[in-house]
Amino acid sequence: MMRLRVGIGRPAGKSSVERHVLGRFSSEERKVLDSVLVQSVDLLLSQLALQDDARQDAQSPASPAGGRRAAQEREEEDKRKPVNMEKQALH
């Protein structure tokens, strides 16, 4: 489960904490909050994409050996290995 927590800080000076917590945001605080919300949505979308990729890797036929990416890496590694000519001549 994902969760986003946003702190609001402490009131300046001797202002009431209750008034600070329950009051409206100043225009400057609102700008900061808007930026935090945009960044949070971007982060959430990235996290969901990673989870979707992981789920697809787990469901792919190559998953028991480390997932799709690992299977692709093994294929590339196999392409770079020298071919044993003796075995080919026997076939």
Confidence at residue 91, expressed as pLDDT on a 0 to 100 scale:
46
Query: What is the spatial distance between Cα 30 and Cα 14, in angstroms, rounded to a whole number?
Result: 22
Give the residue with greater pLDDT, 79 vs 27: 27
The answer to whether residues 57 and 67 touch, using CB atoms and an 8 Å cutoff, is yes
Q: Is residue 31's pLDDT more than 80?
A: yes
Helix axes 27-59, 67-80, angle to 10 degrees: 60
- Tokens 């997932």 belong to residue: 67
Confidence at residue 70, expressed as pLDDT on a 0 to 100 scale:
73
Query: What is the spatial distance between Cα 50 and Cα 44, in angstroms, rounded to a whole number?
Result: 10
The DSSP letter of residue 23 is: S
pLDDT digits (tens, 9 = 90+) for 57-86: 777 665 555 666 777 777 787 777 665 555
